[in-house]
Structure 1
């Protein structure tokens, strides 16, 4: 509505601003602004009858009349095109606009007027112009409203399949995949497969307001599902859920839902599928046709979605992480006295120092991670099967348990070979003529004797015993070692120095030598 400058000025002497606003249909701030501009420009009543509202407006607001002020009108079409490019902002374009005006000796508009003119332009043309998204910025995801079917090969029962959709708005390149449910595992798997299909990750992920992705949605503070948040962190993207009942927040995926409902779901209406894999092969075949289907309107030089993605958007995607995201579940467990925790009937070891502690367990399809107060203390490959299984890391055992576990027949033979032939023969005889557990117990006693008396002395004692005894025992060998120790030069020297009768006084103590000499004199 054109502003009635003349009527506002003519009513001002006898009426309040509120009355003028009600009479002219303009807002009070606008009435106040017109009166203030009239005072600044010294435009007073009575007005020249020849002046029109447009002429009065140019007098009061000269910045709106570039033909009379010499101000350079910005190229709004150019601004709109440049804003579609990555990292380009309106403030940057205004800075460039100022430089161009200065170089051409023209007067630029203020930043406020510059933004207002572009806002009016975008508001006017947004219904008919294609506003391009920045490449690599967004990926919009949703479930299709229509469903597919898989037939049970045995019973013929129809099983519902749901179509997951992901779209890159800049190129309109799409991905879809059928799942048998809309639960969290399938929702996450759809995202992972979509990223693999696109070969990269966008900066922002716009999802529907589903409970699988969003726990609650306040106006400015959505609360994401923890698993969904972990997936976003793994791929380095930001989740921005669409507002409730606001399909315009994700227009491309909404439009693609309708298109794919025709080109995929409706196109497969007369076909029967007996497995999900068979259905998805058909879905991906139709998806390929959809992405290669020519645009009905020409957008620059791109003929179809696939070409637009390859030439204009693929380069802008962030690289994929080294490994795809695996959905994890969290549980708590208590470390038992045998330093293991039980998860799904399987047992996994943790360091024995945490016996009796409560720990957090993170489970993926292939890995078990154990945390104590946010610090990871153990990890294992996940075990599967019906019977109970154990995954034990020897580093988690006490020293005594490590020795027991590492003490085997093979390790015993290896140890005996390092000592000598007599011990090797004895160890081999023990292993061949006794139950393994009993033999290992005897060999462990021999190892303790080697630590106490030395490996060389043990080898010599074993050779001595084998000459006189058909079945050497550790007790006989130990007696020989004790006797050998008593016969060593060090033991003999100590025996000579020591006096067995330490409290007996000799002749010198009693002065017998001096007494005998006085008697002889």
Structure 2
């Protein structure tokens, strides 16, 4: 589906329609049509979260239908390969194409049309374009080919360090940093450090087609950006336009600078030994300053002077806060309307029980999304595993009343029933290190009076206490379930005896 939201966002950054088309993998005509329609409807960025691409598509073009041609088009990839073989001609391929069309009931192209479309495809593959670089507009990023080496001071093991390179396309001013891997966290942190090194943000970010930038690539027109990478672009207000696959001409500056970096930094440090990543990056920083200050051979000045004079004044200011790296996870809402993230539990509205949700995890926050809509947000818990972060509004109404209870209130309720019930509840409240963990058992015990009676519960607690000083909720419930009639009989007999004979003081009382 066309990325309507992204087109409107990039347009708000005053990017050209061609740059928007390259970033969103659509034609310039589509961008023009979307922006024109948005202007007619009075729709502009920023948009509400519920205005998804599907909603915008229905608003913009409710009656749009795709019209497909009946004629079958040639398989250009197959034709290019076959024409390289000896004796294979376009006439032969057209004849085979005609036979295949008849077999499948498709309408074929005439020979002249067949040759015309093949020629157009060949021209596309031969085409090259000179790109005028504008000051402060674009930065190209990539991993250098050859890693540096670090020696583990304890084991003597050789550890590879991978070199990130960011190059301003106009001045060729470079940023270089070493990381222990090429994973997403290193990739994102490299960009954050690069922007801080430049002291501003460019309009266009041009990465290579690595997995930390593009997670799916079925072709130039079918690129999907990594979700966290897209978040970084939105945070810094920049557009991402990945280079096309196997097209090094799209990245002449980065590719050329990577070679220079390998010569003037990595190779220049080949005879030095480093025992930590900090040592290596400190040496790289010194070499990088020399590299950026080195005078051009064919024009005046250096990378640094050209950057400071013509590019830095045009950079957008850095955001007030650093981009915070996030991880995305999938979780299922449990029956207690909580999800588990790193062995901590966070509540969501109980209506989402058993639903699969997306979770955005940062160092400080947990955000929970369902169908791209945020349904909950929590401060991230630290320390002992098994902690709960529960928002009252997420609980069903009958569960919210539990919040009104505490240990003293349970004791007072139990005391009104009888001394044995009080002793049993007090034993439950003191059975756990955290008193709140016992509230459910206390509530369950006291609510047994709704099915039985205060007298029967008191008798059950008394009987349970005769077995152990700390009877569980389950033991008292089992006494009621299996022996309620016997307890009722014993309770009735006791009451009858007291009524008939009154209160009799034994000999021991008078002996005292």
- Deviation, 1:229, is 2.9
Partner of 2:307: 309
Partner of 1:283: 284
Matches of 2:197 and 2:150 in 1, distance apart? 24
- Deviation, 1:193, is 1.6
Partner of 1:134: 134
Output aligned runs, 1:184-195, within 5 Å: 184-195=184-195
User: Which stretch has the larger CA shift, 389-398 or 166-175?
Assistant: 389-398
User: Which stretch has the larger CA shift, 395-404 or 306-315?
Assistant: 395-404
Partner of 1:365: 363
- Deviation, 1:400, is 5.1
The number of aligned residues is 299
- Does structure 1 residue 392 correspond to structure 2 residue 386? no
Matches of 1:163 and 1:155 in 2, distance apart? 23
Uncovered stretches (5+) of structure 2, i.e. residues with no partner:
1-14, 19-128, 411-421, 444-512
- Deviation, 1:233, is 2.9
**Residue from 326, 334, 337 that aligns with 1:336:** 334
Partner of 1:155: 155
- Deviations along 1:311-368, one digit per CA (max 9) or x if unpaired, are 2111211223333333433333222232211123221111233333332222233321
Instruction: Using structure 2 for the length normalisation, give the TM-score.
Output: 0.51
DSSP 3-state at the match of 1:244: coil
User: Which stretch has the larger CA shift, 235-244 or 276-285?
Assistant: 235-244
Cα distance 1:163–1:411, how it changes in 2: closer, same or farther (>3 A)?
farther
- Deviation, 1:388, is 2.6
DSSP 3-state at the match of 1:371: strand
Partner of 2:180: 180
Partner of 1:209: 209
DSSP 3-state at the match of 1:250: helix
Matches of 2:297 and 2:175 in 1, distance apart? 20
- Deviations along 1:184-217, one digit per CA (max 9) or x if unpaired, are 2222222222122112221212222223322215
**Residue from 362, 371, 374 that aligns with 2:372:** 374
Compare relative contact order (CA 8 Å, sep 6+) and give the higher one, 1 or 2.
2
Matches of 1:222 and 1:337 in 2, distance apart? 38
Partner of 1:45: none
Are the counterparts in 1 of residues 219 and 245 from structure 2 also a CA contact under 8 Å?
A: no
- Deviations along 1:440-477, one digit per CA (max 9) or x if unpaired, are 99xx9xxxxxxxxxxxxxxxxxxxxxxxxxxxxxxxxx
Matches of 1:186 and 1:379 in 2, distance apart? 26
Cα distance 1:339–1:132, how it changes in 2: closer, same or farther (>3 A)?
closer
- Deviation, 1:241, is 2.0
- Deviation, 1:132, is 6.5
Output aligned runs, 1:48-447, within 5 Å: 133-214=133-214, 215-216=216-217, 218-299=219-300, 303-384=301-382, 387-399=385-397, 401-408=399-406, 437=429
- Deviation, 1:281, is 1.8
- Deviations along 1:400-423, one digit per CA (max 9) or x if unpaired, are 5444335447999xxxxxxxxxxx
Matches of 2:316 and 2:239 in 1, distance apart? 13
DSSP 3-state at the match of 2:145: strand
- Deviations along 1:131-162, one digit per CA (max 9) or x if unpaired, are 97211111011111121011112110000011
Matches of 1:275 and 1:402 in 2, distance apart? 54
Cα distance 1:278–1:408, how it changes in 2: closer, same or farther (>3 A)?
farther
Matches of 1:276 and 1:388 in 2, distance apart? 35
Are the counterparts in 2 of residues 217 and 223 from structure 1 also a CA contact under 8 Å?
A: no
- Deviation, 1:384, is 4.8
Cα distance 1:395–1:297, how it changes in 2: closer, same or farther (>3 A)?
same
Cα distance 1:359–1:221, how it changes in 2: closer, same or farther (>3 A)?
closer
Matches of 2:273 and 2:384 in 1, distance apart? 35
What is the RMSD computed on CA atoms of the aligned residues? Answer: 3.7
Uncovered stretches (5+) of structure 1, i.e. residues with no partner:
1-85, 90-125, 413-429, 445-521
DSSP 3-state at the match of 2:246: coil
Are the counterparts in 2 of residues 369 and 378 from structure 1 also a CA contact under 8 Å?
A: yes
User: In terms of Rg, which structure is larger?
Assistant: 1
Partner of 1:464: none
- Deviation, 1:435, is 7.6
- Deviations along 1:110-131, one digit per CA (max 9) or x if unpaired, are xxxxxxxxxxxxxxxx99xxx9
DSSP 3-state at the match of 1:205: strand
Cα distance 1:217–1:315, how it changes in 2: closer, same or farther (>3 A)?
farther
Matches of 1:371 and 1:247 in 2, distance apart? 39
Instruction: Using structure 1 for the length normalisation, give the TM-score.
Output: 0.51
Are the counterparts in 1 of residues 136 and 203 from structure 2 also a CA contact under 8 Å?
A: yes
Cα distance 1:411–1:276, how it changes in 2: closer, same or farther (>3 A)?
farther
Cα distance 1:364–1:269, how it changes in 2: closer, same or farther (>3 A)?
same
- Deviations along 1:276-316, one digit per CA (max 9) or x if unpaired, are 122212211221222222333433xxx32222212211121
